[in-house]
Amino acid sequence: MIDTVTHAIEDPDHVQPFAELGLKPDEYQRIRDILDRRPTSSELAMYSVMWSEHCSYKSSKVHLRQFGEKKPETDVLLVGIGENAGVVDIGDGWAVTFKVESHNHPSYVEPYQGAATGVGGIVRDILSMGARPLAVMDPLRFGPLDAPDTRRVLPGIVAGVGGYGNCLGLPNIGGEVVFDPTYVGNPLVNALCVGAMRHEDIHLASAKGVGNLVVLYGARTGGDGIGGVSVLASETFDEGGPTKRPSVQVGDPFMEKLLIEATLEVLHSGLVEGIQDLGGAGISCATSELASNGEGGMHVWLDHVLLRDPTLTPEEILMSESQERMCAIVRPDNLEAFLALCGKWDVEAVVIGEVNDSGRLTVDWHGERIVDVPPRTVAHEGPVYDRPYHRPSWQDALQADGPDRLPRPSTPDELRATLLTMAAAPNLASKSWVTSQYDRYVLGNTVLAQPEDAGMIRIDEETGRGIAVSTDCNGRFAKLDPYAGAQLALAESYRNVAASGAIPLAVTNCLNFGSPEDPEVMWQFAQATTGLADGCLELGIPVTGGNVSFYNQTGDTAILPTPVVGVLGVIDDVDRRTPMAWGPDGELIYLLGDTRDEFGGSEWAHHVHGHLGGLPPMVDLQRERLLGEILVAGSRDGMLTAAHDVSDGGVAQSLVEMALRAGIGARCWVPDGLDPFTFLFSESTGRAVVVVPRSEELRFTEMCAARQLPAHRVGVVDSGLGADAGYPAGTQVLQFSDQFTVTLDEVRDAHERTLPAILG
């Protein structure tokens, strides 16, 4: 029997399974207060999903407000936080939108579909702003490479990311693959998408214009992705009814490709007044958000929804997270043209409702009223919690346990062995086992892709205007000091974008943490958000949006706090990008910035000693800003042939990656005042390795001196060192004067063998 509003009034004492749906008793009471009666089962379903942590940000909201409160003075933000994705002005009338979201839990349960639908969901967010999606990136975190759990989830997640993105026709241009024991049972799948549009094509999720129609189009609605709602469904169905579908959604990238083309065509034809993608919470979310952002009223005929399974109950239809669906607000006189364009792309579309000025969201099921609520109370006025937090009891001991006591390599042989060991460490090793499963070429505008510092795509084929994006986070740093850790993630991402030659403009984030109900985790979250907000203010780049993922923990063990930060930059002409591979013989290798003895949370301490303790490297955002300006100027004025940021693994890893990318060796030396170990493996921030043609050396070093950025010449590109070092003529080597020599072949072998050795 359908639970109608009339029924709810007549039977006020009906016991409802709110706890099973994840609502607390006071939250349930609040719904009763809002409605002045008990909710119907459909209303209960809507509130329970929309008031979930995932949709309402109820535990994080009080902290996320800082991103708005501390927003730097900026004129690049066209659409800010709160919409499907923020929109940034990149000049020449172009607008770019980008966002990163988590799909962690589904990817653990069902790696392939969890990861695939993570990509699909973020792509629809970008599409719903009116932008053509142009590229994706995927920051991933796994347990140790050799853990059985990793071997279960990693291949499936990578195949899912690739399977969906490749079939959708979006190049995958970057991301991360990081291993740490805390991610066993809690893999992180964050998905980023970036898209572009002309300024006039920006669209928002709002249902404006009384009498306008609500059109649902794309895939049919099925029983997939229904989580807690099955509790309600089980009340309605007798035994022998349909079995419960999996809570993980199933993706159809082909349908998403059609949805993109159809959506862009209806938008560009001026047929759409407002648009919203369907993701978490499905029709409940789309209708309540559209209504809440618009005239405030909407009526929905739920039985008009096209179904994959005719036995679905109204509660299930409202909650279904079936993928590849969009909701558009269309004027009645445009409906025919809208439906025709959908038909052109073989996309099904149906009118499911109408905009009105009732101030209510009403839903009928075969003529009976099953929902009658104020839409704002569903979409925007959910509960907000200022959860208790405190500094963890173990934080001081962790910070006191510094890396100073760890034995360090000192002889040339030990340093050589350490360099090879580090190049092969899972976190530093080549990720081509992963990235070669992603199409990086489709659309023909990819200028830089992994393993480059940032992904870069051309936006305008006439002018060469383009963008660069990087995502970064070192969770170990964040564990040692969440405030500094978030700023270090920001700094690294900022530096990577600048190293490519692009000017950093805006920030998105995906904040992955343990349980917010644990005050120590909540402290990490509060610290990290404050650090990130303060850091963005200092760097002068606004946060445009983001996503929070809580409950990433097994038992009492939370993941490393992992505030993944994505930075977007603009470059006037992608022809001026700075790649990572250095140029021909004779070019000079410079290390920019200050190198200190900083090994807390370093990859060396982690990989060689299994140690995590002490303090992370010092944060100096003014220095990062200066370094960024020098890197961008060097690119713009043609002074640099290559640049690579220094981060995980230190200068040694940067030099190894640049040499391998070029296939050309170099002679390097330790600058005065540094011991070889610190020079090679310290992870001091605010540094980059750049390569300068001899003809530009004076101009470049004078610029650095004038701006007071330390620049040390640490090497020269040289393809002819092999014979002198005792190898066959032509052998490419990395030589560290007075220390040791390694051939690129042995470094490459170490670097590239690690992942295939375990993953096949």
Partner 1 sequence: MRIGVVTFPGSLDDRDAARAVRIAGGEPIPLWHGDDDLKSVDAVVLPGGFSYGDYLRCGAIARFAPVMHSLVAAAEGGLPVLGICNGFQILCESHLLPGALTRNDSLHFVCRDQRLRIEDVTSMWTSDFDAGQEIVIPLKNGEGGYVADEATLDRLEGEGRVIARYLEVNPNGSRRDIAGIRNERGNVVGLMPHPEHAVEALTGPTTDGLPFFTSILTSLVAAA
Applying CB under 8 A, which residues contact partner 1?
159, 162-163, 166-169, 252-255, 257-258, 345-346, 435-447, 458, 461, 574-575
Q: With beta carbons less than 8 A apart as the criterion, state whether 215 and 299 touch.
A: no
- What span, in angstroms and rounded, lies between the C-alpha atoms of 188 and 165? 18
**For residues 55 and 126, which CB has a smaller minimum distance to partner 1 in the complex?**
126
Rounded least distance, CB 515 to partner 1, Å: 36
**For residues 399 and 437, which CB has a smaller minimum distance to partner 1 in the complex?**
437
Rounded least distance, CB 347 to partner 1, Å: 10
Q: How many CB atoms neighbour CB 143 within 10 A?
A: 22
**For residues 445 and 653, which CB has a smaller minimum distance to partner 1 in the complex?**
445
Question: Which value, to the nearest 10 degrees, does the dihedral of the CA atoms of residues 522, 525, 529, 534 take?
Answer: 90
Would residue 105 show up in a list of annotated catalytic residues for this protein? no
3-state DSSP assignment of residue 487: helix
**Taking each helix axis from N to C terminus, what angle separates 519-539 and 482-499, rounded to the nearest 10 degrees?**
40
Q: Which residues contact 176 (CB under 8 A, 6 or more apart)?
A: 139, 140, 141, 471, 472, 473, 564
Classify strands 455-458 and 466-472 as parallel, antiparallel or unpaired: antiparallel
Rounded least distance, CB 257 to partner 1, Å: 6
3-state DSSP assignment of residue 617: coil
Would residue 54 show up in a list of annotated catalytic residues for this protein? yes
**For residues 359 and 584, which CB has a smaller minimum distance to partner 1 in the complex?**
584
Q: How many CB atoms neighbour CB 333 within 10 A?
A: 8
Catalytic option among 54, 63, 203, 712: 54
**For residues 253 and 409, which CB has a smaller minimum distance to partner 1 in the complex?**
253
Single out the residue of 401, 242, 247 nearest to residue 319, CA to CA. 247
Q: With beta carbons less than 8 A apart as the criterion, state whether 471 and 192 touch.
A: yes
- What span, in angstroms and rounded, lies between the C-alpha atoms of 590 and 714? 5
Single out the residue of 698, 135, 173 nearest to residue 451, CA to CA. 173
Tokens of 550: 């809580």
**For residues 455 and 617, which CB has a smaller minimum distance to partner 1 in the complex?**
455
**For residues 229 and 447, which CB has a smaller minimum distance to partner 1 in the complex?**
447
Exposed e or buried b per residue across 386-407, where buried means at least 16 C-beta atoms within 10 angstroms of its C-beta: ebebeebeebeebeebbbeebe
Query: In which order are the strands placed within the sheet that holds 446-448?
Result: 446-448, 455-458, 466-472, 562-571, 503-512, 543-549
- What span, in angstroms and rounded, lies between the C-alpha atoms of 140 and 756? 17
- What span, in angstroms and rounded, lies between the C-alpha atoms of 665 and 589? 12
The helix (H) or strand (E) run that includes residue 667 is: strand 666-668
Catalytic option among 63, 103, 607, 611: 103
1 pairs with which residues across the strands?
Answer: none
Single out the residue of 415, 355, 382 nearest to residue 30, CA to CA. 382
**For residues 446 and 595, which CB has a smaller minimum distance to partner 1 in the complex?**
446
Handedness of CA 280, 524, 564, 73 (dihedral sign): positive
Rounded least distance, CB 308 to partner 1, Å: 15
**For residues 6 and 436, which CB has a smaller minimum distance to partner 1 in the complex?**
436
Residue 738 zone, left/alpha/beta (φ > 0; ψ -120 to 50; rest): left
Query: How many residues in total does the chain contain?
Result: 760
**For residues 169 and 185, which CB has a smaller minimum distance to partner 1 in the complex?**
169
Rounded least distance, CB 577 to partner 1, Å: 8
Active centre residues (catalytic): 54, 103
